[in-house]
Structure 1
């Protein structure tokens, strides 16, 4: 009976929260939210922020695009301002909070949101990710930032090599995309970090697909955490239309071109299994006058940022990517996600299709499959999301009409990629970025099958 009364009380409390002021945030942050156009808190913010303001650790699981970054950034900044008001600004410790991210692009995005929320309070934020100049990051640390957003590997590099850098005063630790960070790929780096930060801290774990492995969760050293699940373990939003396009394997590239041509007014993300495929498909699409650009883990960080900026600005309408772009990136204008290669891990599927239909908007997710795989794919998606895939409506003869042009474009693309590979082996270095960008058509070079973009 007592438990039921507590649940009813908590439910009434959530229903009463209609603004960021109702969450218990300070006036400075309420104004910051208003200036960013955040009128009402999202469900995950309503459920997580009050617990965080009470000083509790969190394990939070919510759909992609649900406002998870704000759910952990707001209580951290509120605590920082509270510390300033009680102890004075100059006495506040540097490196107040650390946010770990599995990808560089997500780390940069998280930092930009912290900076936007803290623009009126003099917040300093440092981003420590691989692929960027180590010395410049050391200079940024010397400016005494309150917030550090980092990838685990690069943070360990700084802990080992940057003189005077220590996290012994850290108050908050956030693992964003926590299920990925707790995987074996990050195990050693994460353990190195956990061994040098205070145990007396607040810890938040956020993800759209949270692990249930208790042993993994214990590694994060949580203290009586509150579990928040604003969605089921694996789910997609109701505004996402999920479809299956199955044709013979030799028509797979034609199917991709057909969809992008039919939906030519849309911005699209095309997910592939390999880095090589991102470059090959981008070049093939460019040859067919479709403005595509690749992004993968094999590209240098400046090149990845340029590709992402071109896509966000609308200069390129198609981003061909590996799963380096599947987690956390907030690109509001994505209309469609295409699974050129269907993932085997259900978590990966959820994160991929979560790049569209964000913040209440609608979107499309289309998975390409050969006829022999169609039933397996349909069962796979139904098993992880509880939703059935409708068939993408297309006339096969129209797809076949593209066969000759697409085949020739792919042949030329394969030939060009061989040239790029030879150039990289001979020279190496950052100058190769310009060669690859030029070959991939993003600098306006005329291709053999297309016009100048």
Structure 2
């Protein structure tokens, strides 16, 4: 089904075509008409399925530029706040004013944005609490939409009381849109309290991008794993690659090992300052570096086109981590490959079980690019 079948204005459709949207994903096809009708929703959809555009497209369709907060989008991480704000600016046919607010950025910059006037605010719960209740940086009288993106992660991080406090403050006459990878009892309970007869959307077919090829590589020792990684990265024309590890210490070890082998690489984990993390993401997005080593801080909220390979150096800690990591490639119609190192029969069996459950094919990797 194509873009022309959705009840959007010609101005919006023209802007979407110019930004590369011609074919919509399942979550977008299900969500956009309901939001345009004014319904509250709770949607279950994984990363990489286009859910950000699913709520931004119909919201921006219904906004006028008044330089007063009309949309409040709560997200669990600073990286996701930046991603959503960039997407909002790109998708807006009316040049609405957008502000991303999060901890780790100088507060005066955010206050200046509010003084200039904003229509859409995207932020993390802690910083939004600060602006609303402590600094009283903006008013909520004109608020029309509240969006909770990755609500399961926000609850899992302990933000439930914060987001409840925020939502209680906003006008009752609003649309409430909840997006979650899993609909847990806590998410259901939140929806019962704050959403009005929400339509339930479950987009199971969007769990993993269908144009991603999945592979595993068996390694019997740390030395073999390191040699295999260096050999692969050194002998292939790869494009952009993310190598995932489970800990900050391991990320730095891999980075140093790759540098010792004369590979140009940068890295990211949660101990780096926000400015440092933002600079790394910008360099990677601009293709100034093509190889990034990261913890799972980069698995959510990182939307960069044309990532050719995701490599799981460390085996993902659970099924959801695998989905979030491999969702970084094969996006927006592009093809991609995911390679997972397995060090034991247990890890191999776990990986095959994920493939069976999520209905994707996985094969042993053979490096044919030498």
Q: TM-score scaled to structure 2, two decimals? A: 0.91
Structure 2 match to 1:102: 76
Aligned counterparts of 1:93 and 1:309: Cα–Cα separation in 2: 28
Query: Which secondary structure state, in structure 1, belongs to the residue aligned with residue 310 of structure 2?
Result: strand
Structure 2 match to 1:77: 60
8 Å contact 1:101–1:177 — kept in the other structure?
yes
Gaps of 5+ in 1: 1-14, 82-88, 399-453
Gaps of 5+ in 2: none
C-alpha displacement of 1:326: 0.5
Number of aligned residue pairs = 366
Aligned counterparts of 2:294 and 2:38: Cα–Cα separation in 1: 39
Aligned counterparts of 1:282 and 1:199: Cα–Cα separation in 2: 50
Residue pairs, 1:146-295, within 5 angstroms:
146-207=119-180, 209=181, 211-220=182-191, 221-232=194-205, 235-250=207-222, 251-295=224-268
Residue pairs, 1:10-159, within 5 angstroms:
18-20=2-4, 22-81=5-64, 92=66, 94-118=68-92, 120-159=93-132
Aligned counterparts of 2:285 and 2:272: Cα–Cα separation in 1: 18
- Deviation track 1:246-297 (CA, whole Å, cap 9, x = no partner) reads 1113222222222322434331111111122222212221221212111111
Pick from 326, 333, 337: which aligns with 1:364?
Answer: 337
Structure 2 match to 1:352: 325
8 Å contact 2:70–2:145 — kept in the other structure?
yes
Q: TM-score scaled to structure 1, two decimals? A: 0.75
Query: Which secondary structure state, in structure 1, belongs to the residue aligned with residue 307 of structure 2?
Result: coil
Residue pairs, 1:395-406, within 5 angstroms:
none
C-alpha displacement of 1:110: 1.0
Aligned counterparts of 1:191 and 1:214: Cα–Cα separation in 2: 15
8 Å contact 2:72–2:146 — kept in the other structure?
yes
Q: Which structure is richer in relative contact order (CA contacts within 8 A, separation 6 or more)?
A: 2
Residue pairs, 1:401-412, within 5 angstroms:
none
C-alpha displacement of 1:374: 3.8
8 Å contact 1:381–1:389 — kept in the other structure?
no
Aligned counterparts of 1:110 and 1:163: Cα–Cα separation in 2: 23
- Deviation track 1:166-210 (CA, whole Å, cap 9, x = no partner) reads 435421111222321232432232223223223332111224x2x
* Moved beyond 6 Å, runs of 4+: none
Larger mean CA deviation between 165-174 and 326-335 belongs to 165-174
- Deviation track 1:13-34 (CA, whole Å, cap 9, x = no partner) reads xx5xx334x4222233223213
8 Å contact 2:15–2:91 — kept in the other structure?
yes
Q: CA 1:217 to 1:143, structure 2 compared with 1: closer, same or farther past 3 Å?
A: farther
**Larger Cα-atom Rg:** 1
8 Å contact 1:336–1:365 — kept in the other structure?
yes
Larger mean CA deviation between 171-180 and 184-193 belongs to 184-193
C-alpha displacement of 1:394: 5.8
Aligned counterparts of 1:321 and 1:105: Cα–Cα separation in 2: 13
Aligned counterparts of 1:349 and 1:43: Cα–Cα separation in 2: 21
Aligned counterparts of 1:384 and 1:154: Cα–Cα separation in 2: 38
State yes or no: 1:340 paired with 2:313. yes
Q: CA 1:53 to 1:319, structure 2 compared with 1: closer, same or farther past 3 Å?
A: same
Q: CA 1:343 to 1:199, structure 2 compared with 1: closer, same or farther past 3 Å?
A: farther
- Deviation track 1:313-356 (CA, whole Å, cap 9, x = no partner) reads 22211111111110142211200101111222211111110000
